[in-house]
């Protein structure tokens, strides 16, 4: 799905039955107030959940609820199998060589913090260069600010151009300074920009840098193959890909994970504990201390099954069609300014401002018609500062989004403009 630079959307592989897909998501039938149907355009913040995921978690609690790994009774063995089967599904979904390389975390944020507190603190020292970008989510900024204050590492940033792309010429210049680490988002949660991850990773490896890919926004929407991309670490969350909140995953190269110190101490992450010493467990359990989010892991696996049943290429193609339509319609509105690149270089995100109207007012007025969009800095304050704005309104799309919902968004924005005329 991804070329050396950007995804190519040229062939419709399968016409999705969107109404059938929408029927899988019970919340989409909700009236947010009497006679006002929900129009959910906030999937970048969190996706809705299909019945398959809800039922899988419900079934675990009804039929197999037990703690995992340590019990030998029937329920414990069932729960352990469900939990580990989900890990296998996730590994296959991103084409990881082994399920041992999939570490369960709470979310993308925790995955990146895990790297910062283990690999980075074991390997980075004062003066070492870490390259980030100006479009990063706070979860890929703050951990490195903390490490900079603690260790004196140096941070540099790949600039974002006016049309929402990364300036790769500057990136090349920064790479000439021999960075130890390059960490960047695969897809911007504000601009929708899909960065040329494979190209950037190859360039980083050429100068000996370790790479982290924040794939929170890409894995739900595109086919992501970690072996093809070559990233050393990849972080993502279940709740953005039809799964439950409270669980995510970190993929890492086996030799890096094995060399890293543990993140949290406690039960299950150990092989042996004595009063004055301990030995860590093998992967992936070395990084999974305490009773985990068992039901959520099972839901995560069910979400992967659901996405596979539809096909990631089909999802990407559908979203591209919706995004292209949405951008065309939004560009018709006087006083509306869009942020980010053209539809062929981005995912299903449309961030915008309306002249003279605060984004929060836009979102609140749209909500009166049941239209759910996001307003604010979207945990990307530096990016908004780059464009000289405090906030944007953001509509985002997923496999269940329709052109009719886009039309309702457009009608709603015109209503906003009328109120402030």
Residue with tokens 């509509």: 395
d(CA 258, CA 261): 8
Asked whether residue 12 is domain-assigned, the answer is: no
93 strand-pairing partners: none
Give yes or no for a contact between 83 and 221, defined as CB atoms under 8 angstroms apart: no
Asked whether residue 6 is domain-assigned, the answer is: no
Asked whether residue 193 is domain-assigned, the answer is: yes
Q: Residue 356 has what pLDDT? A: 95
Residue with tokens 């029937």: 74
The domain total for the chain is: 2
Asked whether residue 10 is domain-assigned, the answer is: no
| Domain termination residue (choose one: 308, 330, 351) | 308
Asked whether residue 230 is domain-assigned, the answer is: yes
Asked whether residue 4 is domain-assigned, the answer is: no
Could you tell me if 93 and 180 lie in one domain? yes
- Residue 93: give the domain boundaries: 53-308
| Domain termination residue (choose one: 308, 338, 361) | 308
Give yes or no for a contact between 108 and 216, defined as CB atoms under 8 angstroms apart: yes
- Assign residue 154 the CATH number of its domain: 3.40.640.10
Could you tell me if 85 and 128 lie in one domain? yes
Could you tell me if 282 and 399 lie in one domain? no
Could you tell me if 191 and 78 lie in one domain? yes
Could you tell me if 132 and 230 lie in one domain? yes
Could you tell me if 196 and 302 lie in one domain? yes
**Closest alpha carbon to 206 in 174, 233, 228, 234:** 174
Q: Residue 14 has what pLDDT? A: 59
Could you tell me if 271 and 365 lie in one domain? no
Q: Residue 1 has what pLDDT? A: 37
| Domain termination residue (choose one: 308, 339, 357) | 308
User: pTM of the entire structure?
Assistant: 0.94
Could you tell me if 83 and 22 lie in one domain? no
- Assign residue 379 the CATH number of its domain: 3.90.1150.10
Asked whether residue 13 is domain-assigned, the answer is: no
Active site residues: 379
Could you tell me if 368 and 387 lie in one domain? yes
For the chain, 421 residues long, give each residue's pLDDT as a single digit of tens.
344 344 443 344 457 899 999 999 999 999 999 999 999 999 999 999 999 999 999 999 999 999 999 888 999 999 999 999 999 999 999 999 999 999 999 999 999 999 999 999 999 999 999 999 999 999 999 999 999 999 999 999 999 999 999 999 999 999 999 999 999 999 999 999 999 999 999 999 999 999 999 999 999 999 999 999 999 999 999 999 999 999 999 999 999 999 999 999 999 999 999 999 999 999 999 999 999 999 999 999 999 999 999 999 999 999 999 999 999 999 999 999 999 999 999 999 999 999 999 999 999 999 999 999 999 999 999 999 999 999 999 999 999 999 999 999 999 999 999 999 8
d(CA 369, CA 364): 9
Could you tell me if 173 and 271 lie in one domain? yes
Asked whether residue 189 is domain-assigned, the answer is: yes
Tell me if residue 25 falls in helix, strand or coil. coil
Could you tell me if 115 and 68 lie in one domain? yes
Could you tell me if 337 and 287 lie in one domain? no
Q: Residue 387 has what pLDDT? A: 95
- The 3-state secondary structure of 39-55 reads EECECCCCCCCCHHHHH
């Amino acid at each position: 799905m991804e070329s050396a630079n950007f995804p190519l959307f040229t062939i419709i592989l399968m016409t999705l039955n969107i109404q059938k897909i929408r029927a899988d998501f019970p919340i989409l039938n909700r009236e947010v107030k009497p006679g006002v149907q929900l129009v959910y355009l906030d999937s970048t913040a969190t996706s809705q959940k299909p019945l398959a995921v809800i039922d899988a978690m419900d079934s675990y609690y009804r039929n197999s609820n037990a703690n995992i790994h340590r019990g030998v009774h029937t329920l414990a063995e069932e729960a352990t199998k469900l939990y580990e089967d989900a890990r296998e599904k996730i590994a296959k979904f991103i084409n990881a060589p082994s399920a041992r390389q999939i570490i369960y975390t709470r979310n993308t944020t925790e995955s990146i913090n895990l790297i910062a507190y283990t690999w980075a603190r074991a390997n980075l020292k004062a003066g070492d260069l870490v390259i980030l970008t100006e479009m990063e989510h706070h979860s890929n900024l703050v951990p490195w600010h903390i490490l900079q204050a603690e260790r004196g590492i140096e941070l540099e940033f790949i600039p974002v151009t006016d049309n929402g792309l990364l300036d790769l010429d500057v990136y090349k210049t920064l790479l000439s300074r021999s960075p130890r680490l390059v960490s960047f988002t695969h897809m911007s949660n504000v601009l929708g920009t899909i960065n040329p991850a494979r190209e950037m990773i190859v360039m980083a490896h050429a100068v000996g840098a370790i790479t982290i890919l924040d794939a929170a926004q890409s894995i739900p929407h595109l086919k992501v193959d970690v072996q093809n991309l070559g990233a050393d670490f990849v972080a993502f969350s279940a709740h953005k890909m039809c799964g439950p909140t409270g669980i995510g995953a970190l993929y890492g190269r086996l030799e890096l994970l094995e060399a890293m110190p543990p993140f949290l101490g406690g039960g299950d992450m150990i092989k042996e504990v004595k009063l004055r010493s301990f030995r860590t467990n093998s992967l992936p359990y070395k990084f999974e201390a305490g009773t985990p989010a068992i039901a959520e892991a099972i839901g995560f696996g069910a979400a992967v099954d659901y996405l596979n049943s539809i096909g990631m290429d089909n999802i990407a193609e559908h979203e591209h069609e919706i995004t292209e339509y949405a951008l065309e319609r939004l560009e018709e509105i006087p006083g509306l300014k869009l942020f980010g690149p053209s539809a062929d270089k981005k995912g299903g995100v449309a961030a915008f401002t309306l002249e003279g109207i605060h984004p929060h007012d836009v979102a609140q007025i749209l909500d009166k018609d049941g239209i759910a969009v996001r307003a604010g800095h979207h945990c990307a304050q530096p990016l908004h500062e780059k464009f000289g704005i405090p906030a944007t309104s953001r509509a985002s799309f997923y496999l269940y989004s329709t052109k009719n919902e886009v039309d309702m968004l457009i009608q709603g924005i015109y209503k906003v403009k009328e109120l402030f005329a």
